[in-house]
C-alpha cells in the first residue's frame, strides 16, 4: 500500500508513519495540501491519503475530484474530538483516526479503506457467477472487458480483478472516458511536456505512466473518439506512449481493463468503434447483471448502505422498516446499485427515532404521486422542455446533487447535463448542489 500523509498532525506524524511502514505501507509525506497534490500530479500516486484535520479537507477532496484523482482520504486529529470527526467525514474523508496513533486502529482503518474500494457486497447466485469468472481471469495478464448497465458496479469489479492479480501491489489507475472532455482526454491519458500547448506550464505525467507496472482502467471506453482510439491501440500494441509535445516514446507496462454500458459489437458494426481495438480489449468479457436480475443482492446492499451513511453522518445505528425492505425488493431499480445507494442515503438523512420508514424512502415509480413521479403528473398541455426540466431536476434531487450519477440514470452524457443545468441556473431555476437535495415544502 502507498500512503501519502499530508500535514504535521500535531507532532504525531513520525509515529503514524512508523506504524504504517511496519504494516507494510510505503509512506511519503507533504507539509500542506498543495504539496500533496503536486506529488499526485507528478504520478507518484497513493492508495490512501491521510490528512491532518487542521488543514482544509474539503478543499483537498474538491481538488481531487476536479482533477480526476481517485484516492480515498482518511482524516487524523489530535484527541477524540467527535465534532472534528463529523466535520472531516462531511468534508469528504472516508474515515477519522484520533491521535496519538494506536497501532491496531491505524492498521485496521487503512486496511478497511483500501479493501472497501474493491469490496463487492452480494448475495445472489447471478453475481457470484460473474465474480467467479473475474477471480479466475484476474491472475492472467490478459485485457478484460467488463460490461453492464450504468450503476451495476463495473469499476468495483475492475478493482477486484486488480487486487487478485500479480500486479496488486502496483498502481490501479482509473480514467472515466465519458466524464473528461474530448479535447482533454488525450493529455489525461498520455501526459504532456512543458510548453506543448497554451497553459502547459510544466510537464504532466499521464495515466499510462502513472499506472506503469500496474493496471489502467478505461471506464466507459465506448465514449472515446475514433482518432484517440487509434493512438490507444498503438500504445497497447507497442507498450509505449508519446507525451503531447514529447520528442521520444516512453515505454510503459500496464494491464488494460475497460468497461462499457453499450453494445460494443453494434458500435463496431456502425463504424463508431474500431474493430481492432475491440478485439485487443475483448480477450475475456465479464458481464455484470443489472440489479433487477440479482434480487438476492438488494437486502445485503441496503444494509451495507444504511450502515455506511449512518456512520458517515454521525448517526446511531439505524433499522430499515420491514415494509421498506419489501418495497426495495419489489422495485425495478433502473439505476441499478447506484440508484439503490442514493435511495438509502436519502432514507438515512430523513430517518426518525432510529428507523428508516416509508416516508424516508422515496422510490420513483409509475404508481407514485409525489412530485417527480410519472403517475402524479398530467403531461397534457405541458411543453417537452418543461417536462424535461422537471425530470432532470427531480433525478438530480434524488441523487443528492451528484451530477455523474444523475447523468447515468437519465441516460445522457455528463456534458449534456451540465449544459442543461447551466441553462436552468441562468433562468433562475433552483438546482440541487452536490451532497444536497432541494428542500420541498410539504403538500
Model pLDDT for residues 2-15, shown as the tens digit of each residue = 888 898 765 676 67
* Residue 441 in this model has a pLDDT that exceeds 70: no
Q: Give the pLDDT confidence score for residue 370 in this predicted structure.
A: 35
* Residue 201 in this model has a pLDDT that exceeds 60: yes
- Pairing assessment for the beta strands 355-356 and 284-287 based on DSSP bridges: unpaired
Q: What confidence category does residue 443 fall into, taking pLDDT thresholds of 50, 70 and 90? A: very low
Q: Give the pLDDT confidence score for residue 178 in this predicted structure.
A: 83
At 2, give phi and psi (nearest 5°).
-105, 120
Listed by start position, the domains of the chain span: 2-116, 125-289, 294-426
Q: Give the pLDDT confidence score for residue 435 in this predicted structure.
A: 58
* Residue 289 in this model has a pLDDT that exceeds 50: yes
Q: What is the mean pLDDT of the chain?
A: 84
* Residue 365 in this model has a pLDDT that exceeds 50: no
Q: Give the pLDDT confidence score for residue 368 in this predicted structure.
A: 34
Of 66, 60, 46, 56, the closest CA to residue 404 belongs to 66
**Integer CA distances (angstroms), 113 to 30, 211, 396, in order:** 20, 20, 28
CA dist 357 and 351 (Å) reads 7
Q: What confidence category does residue 100 fall into, taking pLDDT thresholds of 50, 70 and 90? A: confident
Strand partners, 7: none
Please state the rounded mean pLDDT for residues 406-431.
82
CA dist 415 and 423 (Å) reads 13
Q: What is 125-289's CATH topology? A: Rossmann fold (3.40.50)
* Residue 65 in this model has a pLDDT that exceeds 90: no
Residues in Cβ contact with 298 at an 8 Å cutoff, skipping those fewer than 6 apart: 291, 328, 329, 333, 340
CATH architecture of the domain covering 2-116: 3-Layer(aba) Sandwich (3.40)
CA dist 4 and 36 (Å) reads 8
Q: Give the pLDDT confidence score for residue 380 in this predicted structure.
A: 62
Please state the rounded mean pLDDT for residues 164-193.
88
Cite the DSSP H helix spans in 239-295: 264-269, 275-281
User: Which of the pair, 391 or 268, is modelled with greater confidence?
Assistant: 268
- Look up the pTM and report it: 0.67
CA dist 111 and 109 (Å) reads 5
Instruction: Answer yes or no: are the C-beta atoms of 320 and 306 closer than 8 Å.
Output: yes
* Other beta carbons less than 10 A from residue 71's beta carbon: 16
**Range with top average pLDDT, 43-57, 180-194, 268-282, 337-351:** 268-282
Of 115, 96, 108, 104, the closest CA to residue 47 belongs to 115
Same fold? 2-116, 125-289:
yes
Please state the rounded mean pLDDT for residues 282-298.
95
Q: What confidence category does residue 107 fall into, taking pLDDT thresholds of 50, 70 and 90? A: confident
Q: Give the pLDDT confidence score for residue 293 in this predicted structure.
A: 95
CA dist 169 and 413 (Å) reads 34
Residues in Cβ contact with 258 at an 8 Å cutoff, skipping those fewer than 6 apart: 143, 144, 145, 146, 217, 218, 219, 221, 281
User: Which of the pair, 125 or 110, is modelled with greater confidence?
Assistant: 125
Class of domain 294-426: mainly alpha
Residues in Cβ contact with 66 at an 8 Å cutoff, skipping those fewer than 6 apart: none
Amino acid at each position: 500500500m502507498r500512503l501519502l500523509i499530508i500535514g504535521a498532525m500535531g507532532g504525531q506524524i513520525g509515529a503514524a508513519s512508523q506504524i504504517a511502514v511496519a504494516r507494510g505501507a510505503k509512506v511519503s509525506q507533504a507539509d500542506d495540501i498543495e504539496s500533496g497534490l503536486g506529488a499526485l500530479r507528478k504520478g507518484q500516486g497513493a492508495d490512501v491519503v491521510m490528512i491532518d484535520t487542521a488543514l482544509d479537507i474539503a478543499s483537498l477532496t474538491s481538488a481531487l475530484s476536479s482533477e480526476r484523482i481517485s484516492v480515498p482520504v482518511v482524516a487524523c486529529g489530535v484527541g477524540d474530538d467527535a465534532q472534528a470527526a463529523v466535520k472531516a467525514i462531511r468534508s469528504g474523508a472516508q474515515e477519522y483516526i484520533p491521535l496519538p496513533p494506536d497501532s491496531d486502529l491505524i492498521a485496521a482503518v487503512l486496511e478497511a479503506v483500501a479493501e472497501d474500494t474493491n469490496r463487492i457486497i452480494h448475495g445472489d447466485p447471478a453475481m457470484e457467477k460473474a465474480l467467479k469468472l473475474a477471480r479466475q481471469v484476474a491472475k492472467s495478464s490478459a485485457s478484460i472487458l467488463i460490461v453492464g448497465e450504468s450503476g451495476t458496479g463495473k469499476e468495483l469489479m475492475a478493482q477486484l480483478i486488480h487486487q487478485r492479480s500479480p500486479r496488486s501491489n502496483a498502481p490501479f489507475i482509473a480514467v472515466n472516458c465519458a466524464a473528461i472532455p474530448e479535447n482533454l482526454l488525450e493529455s489525461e491519458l498520455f501526459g504532456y511536456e512543458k510548453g506543448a500547448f497554451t497553459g502547459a506550464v510544466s510537464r504532466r505525467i499521464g495515466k499510462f505512466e502513472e499506472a506503469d507496472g500496474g493496471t489502467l482502467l478505461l471506464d466507459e471506453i465506448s465514449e472515446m473518439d475514433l482518432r484517440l482510439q487509434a493512438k490507444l491501440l498503438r500504445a497497447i500494441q507497442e507498450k509505449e506512449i508519446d507525451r503531447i509535445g514529447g520528442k521520444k516514446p516512453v515505454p510503459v507496462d500496464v494491464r488494460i481493463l475497460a468497461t462499457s454500458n453499450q453494445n460494443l459489437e453494434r458500435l463496431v458494426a456502425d463504424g463508431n468503434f474500431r474493430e481492432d481495438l475491440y478485439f485487443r480489449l475483448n480477450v475475456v468479457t465479464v458481464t455484470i447483471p443489472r440489479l433487477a436480475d440479482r434480487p438476492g443482492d438488494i437486502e445485503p446492499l441496503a444494509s451495507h448502505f444504511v450502515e455506511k451513511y449512518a456512520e458517515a453522518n454521525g448517526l446511531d445505528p439505524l433499522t430499515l422498516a420491514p415494509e421498506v425492505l419489501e418495497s426495495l425488493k419489489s422495485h425495478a431499480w433502473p439505476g441499478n446499485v447506484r440508484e439503490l445507494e442514493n435511495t438509502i442515503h436519502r432514507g438515512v438523512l430523513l430517518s426518525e427515532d432510529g428507523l428508516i420508514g416509508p416516508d424516508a424512502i422515496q422510490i420513483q415509480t409509475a404508481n407514485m404521486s409525489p412530485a417527480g413521479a410519472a403517475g402524479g403528473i398530467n403531461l397534457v398541455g405541458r411543453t417537452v422542455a418543461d417536462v424535461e426540466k422537471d425530470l432532470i431536476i427531480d433525478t438530480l434531487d434524488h441523487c443528492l446533487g451528484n451530477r455523474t450519477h444523475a447523468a447515468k440514470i437519465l441516460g445522457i452524457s455528463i456534458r449534456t447535463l451540465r449544459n442543461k443545468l447551466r441553462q436552468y441556473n441562468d433562468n433562475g431555476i433552483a438546482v440541487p448542489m452536490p451532497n444536497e437535495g432541494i428542500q420541498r415544502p410539504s403538500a
